[in-house]
């Protein structure tokens, strides 16, 4: 009987529009449960957040307490280090015959002592008082008689303790200082046996303490008082009596009194208002118990709605998930007349269209990509082939000029250099060479040019050892060297130099080819530099002189278009081409 009525409800819901189904779901599964649960959760929310605020205040006060403890702990360690320093104690205990003897010993011992480092640490002021009458008052050492009139010394002697911590404010200034708000740690030095009485003081500025407390992360408004004096606050402060009255009637205030070496501190932490941040997490057990009893009836109806909606949504989702790389499978059986069933019918129509378009578009796109890749490879090979006659004709021209001017007696040596060049030039089975191999080709080329220009040309090749195994496109650097010879040295009657430098700077490989030739006009430099950085295959095809642009294009293609070219030139002085390549793109020969 129960199953029969359940099926009727399912069939009825299957004929309803989605908006009516979600309305029913909202009323029975959201609205009614919320009305019931909010009544019980309100107090739990309040208590959880109140507890969370108290936890924030406790943590903030603990952080401030730890800071003050660390401050005095630092003073204790510094004073202990001073107390056990034998050289320092010997310096203080020694009687001096003359002021010059004291000053000489001060400069000799104190300048080499760790005490000078401690004195400057954290910008604290460290002073050692002693009753050694032969010592002169200075930055770090004073006669004990100077302190005997001060309140901290009287309190320290009266207490009979070996260490104490005192605070001074505007109404009770410390002598020798314009910054009157400070804290003083006092310790008696007793490590070495001597009749000399020694006391060390470490003074902390209030401004330094306030600055460091500002860096402590807290979620509260904080106030720190010392003996009824406001030392630090995260907001505008108030007098001690007003603050005490405010905290005594505030449920969102936490107060803690601490004592540091006889000095009393009081810390106030305030939080304002209540929020429900993290309430669910903090009160999860209570919420689960309440929801368990308030959602039983809505869940029954939710399950019936689920069968009407999710079953067919799962079928639709499964159909999408069954699609392979090219095709989706249509849904074979569709039940119902609501929006989900319409969506399933539309899905089947889209599947049919998609499967047809896949064959016409997707596969054609793959063939187009393969064709484009083949075209790019062919264009690259064409670029490589352009260089072969380029260098061959220039080398032969050098031999011809030499034969005209000098005769035939050195031809054998020139042909030997030419053979080195042509061996690199014609072997295109691998477009990549090491910089070291390119260096041999550059050297051969420049040696050959030396026969042509004689004393008019000198050159220097400087390549760092860690750069020689880096791989670059073949015949690219020599292209820039050739350009320096033809357009730089050749056009200048005076002696010229060519420099080739390769090194690494930080995260970049730097290649520089410099000549002391005739140089270029500024407008021509800008035009050429733009072409070199924006070179394309079409530009190389259309250019009359392809050497430089060819080399730039091949370098940019090898290094993912991240190589940069810069030109520095001055007319009549010379020209320098600088190539910058990111180090993460370079590869080396094994």
Segment 97-136, tens digit of pLDDT: 888 888 888 887 766 556 666 655 555 788 899 998 988 8
DSSP string, 504-531: EETTEEEEEEEE-SS---HHHHHHHHHH
Asked if 102 and 135 count as a contact pair (C-beta separation under 8 A), the reply is yes
* Alpha carbons 256 and 265: distance in angstroms, whole number: 8
The verdict on residue 480 lying in a domain is yes
Does 552 or 242 have the greater pLDDT score? 552
Q: Kindly state the average pLDDT of the residues 61-83.
A: 89
* From 5-9, 92-96, 206-210, 469-473, the region with the lowest mean pLDDT: 5-9
Identify the burial level of 551 via C-beta atoms within 10 angstroms of its C-beta, where 0-12 means exposed, 13-18 middle and 19 or more buried: buried
Per-residue pLDDT for 303 more than 80? no
352 and 475 fall within a common domain: no
Asked if 180 and 168 count as a contact pair (C-beta separation under 8 A), the reply is yes
As beta bridge partners, residue 569 has 575
481 and 342 fall within a common domain: no
* Alpha carbons 549 and 543: distance in angstroms, whole number: 8
391 and 446 fall within a common domain: yes
> CB neighbours (10 Å) of residue 402?
19
> CB neighbours (10 Å) of residue 22?
15
421 and 564 fall within a common domain: yes
* Alpha carbons 435 and 588: distance in angstroms, whole number: 10
**Residue 150: what are its φ and ψ, rounded to 5°?**
-90, 155
**Residue 473: what are its φ and ψ, rounded to 5°?**
-65, 140
436 and 333 fall within a common domain: no
The verdict on residue 404 lying in a domain is yes
Over residues 330-344, the pLDDT tens digits come to 777 777 777 777 777
Locate the DSSP E strands across 441-495.
457-463, 471-473
Over residues 406-423, the pLDDT tens digits come to 666 566 556 556 655 555
Q: Which tokens sit at 503?
A: 């090194």
Q: Cα dist. 189→129, 151, 161, 198, 474 in Å?
A: 10, 20, 12, 5, 77
Domain that holds residue 525: 372-585
* Alpha carbons 355 and 431: distance in angstroms, whole number: 44
Closest-CA residue to 479 (of 359, 396, 386): 386
* Alpha carbons 574 and 496: distance in angstroms, whole number: 9
The verdict on residue 350 lying in a domain is yes
**For the chain, what is the domain count?**
2
Closest-CA residue to 163 (of 197, 188, 182): 188
Over residues 444-481, the pLDDT tens digits come to 888 888 877 888 889 999 999 999 999 999 888 999 99
The verdict on residue 537 lying in a domain is yes
Per-residue pLDDT for 589 more than 50? yes
Per-residue pLDDT for 250 more than 80? yes
Residue that is last in its domain, among 363, 396, 416: 363
Asked if 445 and 482 count as a contact pair (C-beta separation under 8 A), the reply is yes
The verdict on residue 533 lying in a domain is yes
Q: What 3-state DSSP class applies to 315?
A: helix
Residue that is last in its domain, among 331, 363, 395: 363
Contacts of 472 (CB under 8 A, 6+ apart): 432, 433, 434, 435, 438, 555, 558
Q: Which residue bears the tokens 């040019």? A: 449
Q: Which tokens sit at 196?
A: 């000399």
Q: Between 363-406 and 547-558, two packed helices, what is the crossing angle to 10 degrees? A: 140
* Alpha carbons 204 and 574: distance in angstroms, whole number: 63
Q: Cα dist. 418→65, 445, 467 in Å?
A: 83, 8, 26
Rounded to the nearest integer, the mean pLDDT of the chain is 78
467 and 548 fall within a common domain: yes
Asked if 95 and 162 count as a contact pair (C-beta separation under 8 A), the reply is no
514 and 543 fall within a common domain: yes
The verdict on residue 104 lying in a domain is no
330 and 391 fall within a common domain: no
Q: Which residue bears the tokens 């202990």? A: 80
Asked if 130 and 196 count as a contact pair (C-beta separation under 8 A), the reply is yes
398 and 350 fall within a common domain: no
438 and 343 fall within a common domain: no
Q: Cα dist. 5→1, 9, 27, 304 in Å?
A: 7, 6, 21, 11
> Biggest alpha carbon distance in the chain?
120
530 and 553 fall within a common domain: yes
CATH number of the domain encompassing residue 394: 3.30.565.10
Identify the burial level of 549 via C-beta atoms within 10 angstroms of its C-beta, where 0-12 means exposed, 13-18 middle and 19 or more buried: buried
- pTM metric for this prediction: 0.43
Closest-CA residue to 489 (of 528, 445, 522): 445
504 and 358 fall within a common domain: no
Asked if 533 and 462 count as a contact pair (C-beta separation under 8 A), the reply is no
The verdict on residue 158 lying in a domain is no
The verdict on residue 160 lying in a domain is no
């Amino acid at each position: 009987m129960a199953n029969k009525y359940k099926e009727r409800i399912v069939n009825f819901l299957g004929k309803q529009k989605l908006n009516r189904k979600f309305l029913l779901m909202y009323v029975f599964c959201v609205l009614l449960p919320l009305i019931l649960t909010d009544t019980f959760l309100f107090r739990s929310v309040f208590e959880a957040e109140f507890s969370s605020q108290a936890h924030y205040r406790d943590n903030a006060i603990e952080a401030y307490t730890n800071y003050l403890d660390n401050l005095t702990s630092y003073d204790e360690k510094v004073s202990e280090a001073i107390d056990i320093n034998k050289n320092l104690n010997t310096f203080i205990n020694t009687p001096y015959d003359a002021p010059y003897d004291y000053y000489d010993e001060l400069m000799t011992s104190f300048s080499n002592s760790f005490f000078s480092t401690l004195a400057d640490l954290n910008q604290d002021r460290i002073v050692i008082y002693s009753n050694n009458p032969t010592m002169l008052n200075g930055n770090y050492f004073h006669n004990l008689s100077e302190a005997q009139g001060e309140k901290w010394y009287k309190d320290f002697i009266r207490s009979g303790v070996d260490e104490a911590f005192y605070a001074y404010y505007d109404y009770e200034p410390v002598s020798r200082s314009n910054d009157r708000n400070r804290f003083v740690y006092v310790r008696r030095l007793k490590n070495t046996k001597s009749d000399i009485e020694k006391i060390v003081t470490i003074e902390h500025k209030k401004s330094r303490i306030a600055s460091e407390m500002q860096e402590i992360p807290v979620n509260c408004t904080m106030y720190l008082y010392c003996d009824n004096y406001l030392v630090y606050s995260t907001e505008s402060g108030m007098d001690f009596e007003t603050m005490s009255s405010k905290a005594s009637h505030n449920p969102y205030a936490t107060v803690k009194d601490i004592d540091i070496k006889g000095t009393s501190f009081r810390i106030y932490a305030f939080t304002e208002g209540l929020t429900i941040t993290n309430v669910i997490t903090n009160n999860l057990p209570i919420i689960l118990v309440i929801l368990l009893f308030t959602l039983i009836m809505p869940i029954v109806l939710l399950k019936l709605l689920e069968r009407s909606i999710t079953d067919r949504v799962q079928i639709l989702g499964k159909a999408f998930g069954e699609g392979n790389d090219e095709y989706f499978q249509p849904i074979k059986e569709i039940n119902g007349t609501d929006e989900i069933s319409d969506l399933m019918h539309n899905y089947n129509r889209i599947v049919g269209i998609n499967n047809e378009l896949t064959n016409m578009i997707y596969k054609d796109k793959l063939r187009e990509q393969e064709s484009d890749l083949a075209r790019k490879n062919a264009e690259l090979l064409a670029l490589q082939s352009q260089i072969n006659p380029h260098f061959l004709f220039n080398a032969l021209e050098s031999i011809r000029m030499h034969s005209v001017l000098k005769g035939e007696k050195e031809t054998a040596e020139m042909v030997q250099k030419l053979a080195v060049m042509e061996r690199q030039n014609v072997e295109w089975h691998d477009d990549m060479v090491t910089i070291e191999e390119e260096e041999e080709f550059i050297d051969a080329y420049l040696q050959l040019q030396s026969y042509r220009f004689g004393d008019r040309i000198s050159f220097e090749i400087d390549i760092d050892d860690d750069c020689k195994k880096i791989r670059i496109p073949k015949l690219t650097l020599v292209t820039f060297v050739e350009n320096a010879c033809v357009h730089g040295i050749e056009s200048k009657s005076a002696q010229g130099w060519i420099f080739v430098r390769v090194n690494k700077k930080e995260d970049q490989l730097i290649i520089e080819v410099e000549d002391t030739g005739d140089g270029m006009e500024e407008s021509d430099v800008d035009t050429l530099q733009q072409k070199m950085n924006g070179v394309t295959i079409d530009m190389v095809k259309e250019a009359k002189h392809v050497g430089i642009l060819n080399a730039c294009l091949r370098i940019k293609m090898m290094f993912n278009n991240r190589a940069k070219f810069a030109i520095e030139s001055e007319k009549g002085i010379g020209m320098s081409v600088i190539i910058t390549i990111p180090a993460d793109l370079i590869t080396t020969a094994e």
